[in-house]
Chains A and B, each alone.
Chain A
Amino acid sequence: DIEMTQSPSSLSASVGDRVTITCRASQTINSHLNWYRQKAGEAPDLLIYAASSLQNGVPSRFSGSGSGTDFTLTISGLQVEDFATYYCQQSSSVPFSFGQGTQVEIK
């Protein structure tokens, strides 16, 4: 099974900040990496698929990069609605494991 490890587990930031979250897979997953945002009390929303493709309707301040085992989610210009928890997930092979999450809090 593929293990996904995110860092950091949490971070504090201010509105307008640039934020970077990393995700590492225990084995190569090519570009089969997705990012989700989960606001408190809500279901997750797909932000980025295939490592770097922006899901329809997602603001351009979100971007993703990486391939193989190392991936990055960047939020350029944090907005109030971005204070949430972010998860990476690999869709290379079953079981489709998630990272443990990164909580982005208001500084």
Chain B
Amino acid sequence: EMQLVESGGGLVQPGGSLKLSCAASDFSVSNNYMNWARQAPGKGLEWVSLIYSGGSTYYADSVKGRFTISRDNSKNTLYLQMDNLRPGDTAVYYCARGIPFYGMDVWGQGTTVTVSS
């Protein structure tokens, strides 16, 4: 069964850094386009970033220059390095597999990031 498991969330002070991981099972992260999305408390879904199979990366304007998406093919794991975190980055972060033009069909359970002093 295809599965994604996120980890790495936690409490961090404003200006701090955190690196999220997303381990995939039964499919290869390198052969798919992989996304990060987030959901602030009580709010809707927000797309954050993606990495295509060819390695191209894209970011929402709200995180551009602060977040970096990457993957380790040998570990079949997706990452999101988050630097210079702000209180507005507080959210549940989800990783999801994307099918070109066809949406995100496999989602992780989410990991919670709280940015607060």
Contacts and interface: CB of A to CB of B under 8 A. Distances in A.
Most interface-central of B50, B107, B109 (chain A CB within 10 A): B107
Nearest to B97: A46
Interface residues of A, number: 26
Main secondary structure of the interface of A (DSSP, over half): loop
B103 A89 contact: yes
A95 B50 CA distance: 9
B105 A46 contact: yes
B27 interface: no
Interface string A59-101: 0000000000000000000000000010101011011111111
A101 B107 contact: no
B44 A49 contact: no
Contact of B58 (A32, A43, A95): A95
A98 B44 contact: yes
Given A43-B94, A94-B50, A94-B58, A55 B45 contact: no
Interface in B22-80: 35, 37, 44-47, 50, 58, 60-61
A36 to B, nearest CB: 8
B107 A43 contact: yes
Interface of B: 35, 37, 44-47, 50, 58, 60-61, 94, 98-105, 107-110
Interface of A: 1, 32, 34, 36, 38, 43-46, 49-50, 53, 55, 85, 87, 89, 91-92, 94-101
Given A34-B102, A44-B104, 15 more contacts: A36-B45, A36-B103, A44-B45, A45-B107, A46-B105, A49-B103, A49-B105, A50-B102, A95-B47, A95-B61, A96-B50, A98-B44, A98-B45, A98-B47, A101-B45
